[in-house]
Amino acid sequence: MRRTPWTACFWPGLAQLWSHGSWWGLALAVGAATVLDVLLLATFGWSELTGQTTRNIAWAVFAVAWLAAACWSARQCCRENSLLAANPQGDAFTEAMQHYLKGDYYQAEQFLRRIIARNTRDVDARLMLATLLRHTGRPTEASEQLDTMARFDGADKWNFEIEEERRLLAEAEAPSANAA
């Protein structure tokens, strides 16, 4: 989840699409654009198809719905942005990544396990922990992390990386099986 700019709250669904890649946010944004286009077309293009009263009522309903959606989006953005500001988990993940890149796997693992203890469904931390466990020669634990992570909703975005980790784990275990 990333910080959402306030301007995204003025278009219904755009804030959720921006911060989460939400499908319903996309549907809401496209729906709002479609309704706006139809209203503009009915008002300026084919005004003879509808009466003036019908168009005025449609614009009033659309304006109220738009304002309600914008207020709801702004409230959601405010809540999510304050959670991001108050949650030091992002800092812990950055620390874990820095230790991992330095080769200090023990410290990286400690940070990652703390993140996972706070949020068991953190797929980013689990994937990094699985990679770390593979690098430190613990393929069984790495495979367990991948299996756990694959059950979570947010794991879809990491499908390629999960499969790549599984392939690398299989390659790491294959030479030891051939040597025996």
Q: What is the mean pLDDT of the chain?
A: 83
Q: What is the pLDDT of residue 60?
A: 96
Residue 103 lies in a domain: yes
Structural domain span for residue 64: 6-86
Assigned domain for 1 exists: no
How many angstroms separate the CA atoms of 134 and 95, rounded? 19
Instruction: Write down the pTM of the prediction.
Output: 0.50
Q: Give the 3-state secondary structure of residue 104.
A: coil
The token pair that represents 18 in the structure block: 């921006």
Where is the domain boundary, 59, 86, 113? 86
What is the per-residue pLDDT across 126-167, written as a single tens digit (0 to 9) for each?
999 999 999 999 999 999 999 998 888 778 888 899 899 999
Residue bearing tokens 């139809």: 38
- Residue 56 lies inside a defined structural domain of this protein: yes
